[in-house]
Amino acid sequence: METMNIALPSGLKEFVQTRVTENGYSSVSEYVRELIRADQKQLAKALLEEEILKGIRSGESLTMTNEDWDEIRGEVRRRYESRKNTS
């Protein structure tokens, strides 16, 4: 695991230490890792929402047929197999 040092003003340091104590974190590092993971999830959610909005704005929707879904599933399987074979 890599180490990263940060400098905080005393007010922020006290806030972090209080959060660690109040929420039962074993260390400041554990608290910071949780904050970073939450930020990663928030970013992923924002990117997903953007893709959904792109789809909504892309024009009139079309009805998907069973053949369309079969084609999509086939493409996903091909991509999965391709990645599995290169690992």
| pLDDT averaged over every residue in the chain | 95
Q: Whole domain around residue 77: which residue ranges?
A: 10-86
Average pLDDT along the chain, 87 residues, taken 10 residues at a time: 94 98 97 98 98 94 94 96 84
In a domain, 4, yes or no: no
In a domain, 75, yes or no: yes
In a domain, 31, yes or no: yes
In a domain, 59, yes or no: yes
What's the confidence (pLDDT) of residue 31?
98
What's the confidence (pLDDT) of residue 1?
87
What's the confidence (pLDDT) of residue 54?
96
What's the confidence (pLDDT) of residue 8?
97
In a domain, 46, yes or no: yes
In a domain, 21, yes or no: yes
What's the confidence (pLDDT) of residue 61?
87
pLDDT digits (tens, 9 = 90+) for 4-13: 999 999 999 9
Residues 6+ apart with CB under 8 A from 5: none
In a domain, 48, yes or no: yes
Domain count within the chain = 1
In a domain, 17, yes or no: yes
